[in-house]
Amino acid sequence: MKIWIPALFSVLTLLGSPIVSATPQSLDHVVAIVNNGVILQTDIDTAMKTVKANAGEKGQPLPPADVLKEQVLEKLVLDEIQLQEAKRMGIQIDDQRLDQAIQSIAKENGQTLEQLTASLQLQGLTYPVFREQIRKEMAVSEARNAQVRRRVNISPSEVETLAALLAERTTETVEYKIAQIQLHFSDDKEATEQQAEELVSRLKQGEDFSTLAYTYSKGPKALQGGDWGWMRKEEMPTIFADQITTQGRGAIIGPFRSGVGFHILMIQDVKGLETVAVTEVNAQHILIKPSIILSDEGAKKELDGFIEQINSGKRTFGELAQQYSQDPGSAVANGILGFQTADNYVPEFKHQVETLPIGQISPPFKTVHGWHIVKVLDRRSVDKTESAMKNRAYQILFKRKFNEEAGAWLQEIRASAYVEVLDKNNEQNNNDKG
């Protein structure tokens, strides 16, 4: 059985195995003093048992006992320093969070809590000792995360560069069916650019690309409606390939400039590209907040009255939102919230905008903000592949830099700690500060 929470244990691991150490049981054999704390022989013995048990399960050979003890002691020293840092920061792990973490450990091992307890006993570990060590590990993890996160700096240019590299790798075998509108420079280059911008606007409003290409394009495929057919990026003109990253089917790219004029590309279809699409909802709502003089029932009754007025045609939703809604940000826009993903809303509001048919008004419902009625105006699918790629790039950079900074932070706090090893049998018998 493996006993660990990967996200909780410190960056430095011992031979790839977690260590579960006992809480102090007696003061008769102090092995080391760490600042104002101590490490006991029982701590080392318990940690050694766990390392040996995990290594035995994996069939992994261990170094000689004296070398292993030295590594275990250093790991316990680092853990103690980090735990002291957590206490200094006032970090406390309550029983509820601790119980949830232990349940996760049991689930990770495919065990019930009773089975986990029995497995611990087979390794010579008691459940109370294990429980308190997990509490320590959680506190240490929070302290380390808080201290190291502030040291991690990621610039937008780093994200852009890595995202581009990831996109390039992702699109190596992707095929695109592309079309182009090319406008040659006239005597008035600004007028040419303005015409290109107008064409992009017309395309986004739904006009047919081929028709506009036949009419306006001066490119080599103008008489084919601008159609260049299927190509991989390596087969395209460089000016096209440089513009395509992770855009999906239907993307309009441009206008962008070359030595001969302005270009507009459309990705008409894609083969082999994994895309990320999300649904955005444009909703309209009215918020009424209960108060000392307006009860929940009164707020609900007021909204029922609004629904009746809207359905009878006496007032519009927008008029009532402007006059009565207590959400100032949307009230000035007739209660319209604009296109957003449902995840941006609190759970009750999210449920309504996800399930309501377009054009239907919800019955009054309550959230933490007050009482609402909401109407879904429209839904649309939006390609978020590029933003997902940037998010992936950011996460990769963050993990990389976090691990680097965590190692540096551990070295710093270890160097500044007072550590005195008292065990005369330990080869590292020393007295060092800093």
Summarised one tens digit per residue, pLDDT across range 344-403 is 898 899 999 999 999 999 999 999 899 999 999 999 887 777 777 788 889 889 988 888
The answer to whether the predicted template modeling score (pTM) of the entire model surpasses 0.75 is no
Amino acid 26: pLDDT: 44
| Average pLDDT of the segment spanning 62-91 | 88
Calculate what percentage of the chain has a pLDDT beyond 70: 89
Q: What is the pLDDT of residues 142-157, one digit of tens each?
A: 888 888 988 899 999 9
Q: How confident is the model at residue 432 (pLDDT cuts 50, 70, 90)?
A: very low
Amino acid 274: pLDDT: 66
The residue that leads in pLDDT, 56 or 220, is 220
Residue 22 CA to residue 125 CA, distance in Å, equals 8
Amino acid 198: pLDDT: 94
Q: How confident is the model at residue 24 (pLDDT cuts 50, 70, 90)?
A: very low
What letter would DSSP give residue 380? E
At 371 the three-state DSSP class reads: strand
Predicted confidence (pLDDT) at residue 416 exceeds the cutoff of 80? yes
Which residue is listed with tokens 């995840």?
A: 343
Task: Round to the nearest angstrom and report the end-to-end CA distance of the chain.
Answer: 38
Residue 317 CA to residue 310 CA, distance in Å, equals 6
Q: What is the pLDDT of residues 256-308, one digit of tens each?
A: 998 889 999 999 988 876 667 788 899 999 999 999 999 999 999 999 999 99
Quick one: which of 278, 283, 279, 265 has its CA closest to 391?
Answer: 278
Q: Which domains does the chain have, with CATH numbers?
A: 30-151+405-433 (1.10.4030.10), 174-271 (3.10.50.40), 277-383 (3.10.50.40)
Residue 11 CA to residue 141 CA, distance in Å, equals 9
Mean pLDDT taken over the chain: 84
Q: Are 127 and 120 in contact (CB under 8 A)?
A: yes
Contacts of residue 28, Cβ cutoff 8 Å, sequence gap at least 6: none
Q: What is the pLDDT of residues 318-350, one digit of tens each?
A: 999 999 999 988 999 999 999 988 988 988 999
DSSP secondary structure of 308-347: HHHHHTSS-HHHHHHHH-S-HHHHTTTTEEEEEEGGGS-H
Calculate what percentage of the chain has a pLDDT beyond 90: 38
At 180 the three-state DSSP class reads: strand
| Average pLDDT of the segment spanning 111-131 | 85
Q: Which range is least confidently modeled, 113-117, 167-171, 379-383?
A: 167-171
Q: How confident is the model at residue 423 (pLDDT cuts 50, 70, 90)?
A: low
Q: Can you state the angle between helices 113-122 and 95-108, rounded to 10 degrees?
A: 80
Helix (H) or strand (E) holding 51: helix 41-58
Residue 222 CA to residue 216 CA, distance in Å, equals 8
Q: Are 216 and 231 in contact (CB under 8 A)?
A: no
Helix (H) or strand (E) holding 411: helix 385-416
Q: How confident is the model at residue 315 (pLDDT cuts 50, 70, 90)?
A: very high
At 18 the three-state DSSP class reads: coil
| Average pLDDT of the segment spanning 74-83 | 91
Residues paired with residue 381 on neighbouring β-strands, in sequence order: 279
Predicted confidence (pLDDT) at residue 19 exceeds the cutoff of 60? no
Q: Are strands 370-383 and 227-232 parallel, antiparallel or unpaired?
A: unpaired
Structure tokens at 100: 């949830």
At 175 the three-state DSSP class reads: strand
